[in-house]
């Protein structure tokens, strides 16, 4: 049973058991435009919720990706490192950035459900 | 709700209709990109033809009794040889302050039949300052007329000439040399065009009445080679072409010699002086500037952005990045910045501080992407 939660900074974490897959939302990739470079965290690095964990760079600008929840990096997506445009093509699946072993699954409750996130996006328009 | 302070160009409604992402730039709501995105727009301009709305830029005309009189008046503000500007020609120059720093950079053109009229195109962000400066110090016999009722479009790319020729077959556009300027009629529209631009490609800038601009833009966009291009790609194109952008490579603390613009100061002005900051500029020409604008190529894939510190091989600060990003045609990160003279030669190794870490880079020749201007 997987569950996807979103932050107000447009990260998502898709949780399956003890591990969460982190990426940026489809809305975020559209706002950024063509992604040309990503800087991913090393396996073993521990983040607290809200730490700067990765950088996604478009032609225009560099954007920080914040850890949506606390945890330890267990894998980084080599495919987006080699082909940053994957984030534009498939942000919510193939364009994921890194996987975290959750330190405190209770933090998920503070994040938005898909329905809440979609409602939040409407307030930005 | 307070009213927005930003202005709109005559093409604003068309940008919105075309799906542009709009953002404020130099006091105007401008299209940053359209739906295809900056990468695609950049590559389209390099392969076919891109249409840019640059109506936010400042257009003005200087009028006086003769070319010699108007040229002499303008030469008091800038270091280019305007007196020798031939009919039908355009020249690039800068307004300078008393220390030789750049107040703005601009294009000056003289129509083929003009004797006592010069057309100026200045940066949007500086036009108020420029025009106030000129008006404060022009002789009574020379008038500055702000062309606020005129729009400015740029059509850039290898197909630009074929497209414009199709719209004005009798206009002789194909034979215009690079940096030529003259009036052209597109049906009922009386335009003034120059064969120039700011992308490194062949192309034209087209000045036309604001109320005819949208219709003309629609005619251009109906041609199969033409796509609308936003300011995002305009910036990546000019960066690849190694061209200065005011507020980045140029400001009031930077002189044209260190900016690598000595080519724009013709021989007579170098020897005679008679422009603001002439002493500093003549010294820099004779001795070489202490710092220089250079191209920078990071070794890896990570771009360095404006403001990044540049350090030498020993880690000592030697300058800052003034523009940086990804070059879509180069296929790699590129940047420009200022470094001390000792580190300015192509191939020099240095580092750019990105997110508190040194990013290995080298000084690279400019432009990053070869210019494709029309050559005669």
**What was the pLDDT predicted at A45?**
98
User: Cα–Cα distance between B261 and B27 in angstroms, integer?
Assistant: 27
The verdict on B35 touching A (C-beta cutoff 8 Å) is no
The verdict on A62 touching B (C-beta cutoff 8 Å) is yes
Q: Work out the pLDDT band at B283, boundaries 50, 70, 90.
A: very high
Q: Could you tell me the residue range of the domain that residue A66 belongs to?
A: 3-105
Find out whether B279 and B273 touch, Cβ atoms under 8 Å.
yes
Q: How far is CA B313 from CA B79, B209, B304, in A?
A: 36, 54, 17
Q: How far is CA B236 from CA A37, B232, B326, B329, in A?
A: 16, 7, 7, 9
Give the nearest partner residue to A33 out of B37, B303, B355, using CB atoms: B37
If you average pLDDT over residues B237-253, what whole number do you get? 98
For an interface test with A, which of B33, B299, B303 has the most A Cβ atoms less than 10 Å from its Cβ? B303
**What was the pLDDT predicted at A2?**
82
Look up the ipTM and state it.
Answer: 0.87
State whether B295 and B374 are in the same domain: yes
Answer yes or no: is B298 within a domain: yes
Residue of A nearest to B305 (CA): A61
Q: What is the pLDDT of residues B109-148, one digit of tens each?
A: 999 998 999 999 999 999 999 999 999 999 999 999 999 9
Answer yes or no: is A81 within a domain: yes
Answer yes or no: is A63 within a domain: yes
What are the residues whose beta carbons fall under 8 Å from the beta carbon of A90, sequence distance 6 or more?
Answer: none
Answer yes or no: is B3 within a domain: no
Answer yes or no: is A7 within a domain: yes
Answer yes or no: is B268 within a domain: no
**Tally of structural domains, chain A:** 1
Element (H, E) at A80: helix A78-82
**What was the pLDDT predicted at B1?**
40
If you average pLDDT over residues B326-351, what whole number do you get? 97
**What was the pLDDT predicted at B375?**
84
Where residue A81 falls (left for φ over 0; alpha for ψ -120 to 50; beta otherwise) is: alpha
Answer yes or no: is A44 within a domain: yes
Partner-chain contact B33 A62, CB within 8 Å: no
Answer yes or no: is A80 within a domain: yes
- Domain of B311: which CATH number? 2.40.30.110
State whether B180 and B298 are in the same domain: no
State whether B153 and B50 are in the same domain: yes
State whether B202 and B351 are in the same domain: no
Answer yes or no: is A68 within a domain: yes
What are the residues whose beta carbons fall under 8 Å from the beta carbon of B73, sequence distance 6 or more?
Answer: B62, B64, B138, B139, B142
- Domain of B200: which CATH number? 3.30.1360.120
**What was the pLDDT predicted at A1?**
62
Nearest CA distance, A1 vs chain B (angstrom): 36
What are the residues whose beta carbons fall under 8 Å from the beta carbon of B269, sequence distance 6 or more?
Answer: B75, B79, B80, B81, B275
Answer yes or no: is B333 within a domain: yes
For an interface test with A, which of B235, B326, B331, B333 has the most A Cβ atoms less than 10 Å from its Cβ? B326
Task: List beta partners, residue B25.
Answer: B28
**What was the pLDDT predicted at B4?**
57
Q: Work out the pLDDT band at B238, boundaries 50, 70, 90.
A: very high
Give the nearest partner residue to B37 out of A34, A39, A55, using CB atoms: A34
Q: What is the pLDDT of residues B358-369, one digit of tens each?
A: 999 999 999 999
Partner-chain contact A39 B302, CB within 8 Å: yes
State whether B24 and B157 are in the same domain: yes
If you average pLDDT over residues B54-64, what whole number do you get? 98
Q: Could you tell me the residue range of the domain that residue B340 belongs to?
A: 290-376
Give the end of a domain, one of B240, B265, B298: B240
Q: Work out the pLDDT band at B166, boundaries 50, 70, 90.
A: very high
State whether B192 and B326 are in the same domain: no
Partner-chain contact B326 A57, CB within 8 Å: yes
Answer yes or no: is B343 within a domain: yes
Give the end of a domain, one of B202, B223, B240: B240
Q: How far is CA B316 from CA B312, B343, B353, in A?
A: 5, 11, 11
Find out whether A71 and A28 touch, Cβ atoms under 8 Å.
no
Spell out which residues of chain B touch residue A55, defining contact as CB-CB under 8 Å.
355
Neighbours of B328 (CB within 10 A): 24
Spell out which residues of chain A touch residue B39, defining contact as CB-CB under 8 Å.
33-34, 36, 59
Answer yes or no: is B82 within a domain: no
- Is 70 exceeded by the pLDDT of residue B61? yes
- Domain of A40: which CATH number? 2.40.50.100
State whether B154 and B215 are in the same domain: yes
**Tally of structural domains, chain B:** 2
Partner-chain contact A33 B33, CB within 8 Å: yes
The verdict on B325 touching A (C-beta cutoff 8 Å) is yes
Spell out which residues of chain B touch residue A58, defining contact as CB-CB under 8 Å.
38
Answer yes or no: is B143 within a domain: no
Answer yes or no: is A21 within a domain: yes
Give the end of a domain, one of B240, B261, B276: B240
Interface of A with B in 64-123 (CB under 8 A): none
User: Mean pLDDT of successive 10-residue segments in chain A (125 residues)?
Assistant: 91 95 97 95 98 95 96 98 96 97 96 97 90
Spell out which residues of chain A touch residue B326, defining contact as CB-CB under 8 Å.
36-37, 57, 59
Percentage of chain B modeled with pLDDT above 90: 97
Answer yes or no: is A99 within a domain: yes
Answer yes or no: is B260 within a domain: no
**Measuring CA to CA, which residue among B318, B321, B328 is closest to residue B298?**
B321
Partner-chain contact A33 B232, CB within 8 Å: yes
Give the nearest partner residue to A59 out of B302, B326, B355, using CB atoms: B326
Choose between B2 and B157: higher pLDDT.
B157
For an interface test with B, which of A31, A59, A125 has the most B Cβ atoms less than 10 Å from its Cβ? A59
Interface of B with A in 144-203 (CB under 8 A): none
């Amino acid at each position: 049973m997987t569950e996807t939660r979103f932050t107000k900074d447009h990260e998502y974490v898709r949780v399956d058991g003890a591990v969460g897959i982190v990426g940026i939302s489809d809305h975020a990739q559209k706002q950024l435009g063509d992604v040309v470079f990503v800087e991913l965290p090393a396996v073993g690095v521990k983040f607290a919720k809200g730490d700067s964990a990765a950088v996604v760079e478009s032609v225009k600008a560099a954007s920080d990706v914040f850890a949506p929840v606390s945890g330890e990096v267990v894998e980084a997506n080599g495919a987006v490192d080699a082909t940053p445009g994957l984030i534009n093509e498939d942000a919510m699946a193939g364009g994921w950035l890194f996987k975290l072993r959750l330190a405190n699954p209770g933090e998920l409750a503070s994040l938005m459900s898909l329905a809440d996130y979609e409602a939040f996006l409407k307030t930005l328009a | 709700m307070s009213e927005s302070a930003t202005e709109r160009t005559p093409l604003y409604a068309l940008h919105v209709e075309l799906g542009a992402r709009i953002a404020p730039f130099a006091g105007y709501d401008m299209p940053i990109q359209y739906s295809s995105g900056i990468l695609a727009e950049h590559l389209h301009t390099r392969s076919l033809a891109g249409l840019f709305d640059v109506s936010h830029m400042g257009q003005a005309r200087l009028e006086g009794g003769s070319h010699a009189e108007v040229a002499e008046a303008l030469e008091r503000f800038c270091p280019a040889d305007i007196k020798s500007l031939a009919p039908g020609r355009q020249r690039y120059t800068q307004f300078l302050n008393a220390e030789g720093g750049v107040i703005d950079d601009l294009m000056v053109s003289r129509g083929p039949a003009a004797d006592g009229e010069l057309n100026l195109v200045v940066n949007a962000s500086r036009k108020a300052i420029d025009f106030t400066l000129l008006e404060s110090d022009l002789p009574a016999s020379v008038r500055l007329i702000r062309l606020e009722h005129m729009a400015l479009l740029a059509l850039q790319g290898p197909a630009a000439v074929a497209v414009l020729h199709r719209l004005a077959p009798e206009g002789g556009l194909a034979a215009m040399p690079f940096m030529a300027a003259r009036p052209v009629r597109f049906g009922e529209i009386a335009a003034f065009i120059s064969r120039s631009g700011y992308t490194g490609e062949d192309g034209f800038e087209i000045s036309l009445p604001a109320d005819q601009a949208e219709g003309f833009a629609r005619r251009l966009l109906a041609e199969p080679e033409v796509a609308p291009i936003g300011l995002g790609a305009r910036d990546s194109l000019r960066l690849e072409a190694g061209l200065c952008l005011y507020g980045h490579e140029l400001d009031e603390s930077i002189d044209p010699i260190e900016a690598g613009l000595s080519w724009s100061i013709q021989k007579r002005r170098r020897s005679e002086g008679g422009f603001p900051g002439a002493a500093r500029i003549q010294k820099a020409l004779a001795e070489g500037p202490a710092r220089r604008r250079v191209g920078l190529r990071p070794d890896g894939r990570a771009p360095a952005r404006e403001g990044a510190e540049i350090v030498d091989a020993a880690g000592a600060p030697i300058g800052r990045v003034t523009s940086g990003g990804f070059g879509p045609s180069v296929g790699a990160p590129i940047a420009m910045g200022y470094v001390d003279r000792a580190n300015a030669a192509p191939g020099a190794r240095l580092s750019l501080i990105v997110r508190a870490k040194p990013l290995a880079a080298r000084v690279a020749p400019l432009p990053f992407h070869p210019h494709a201007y029309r050559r005669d």
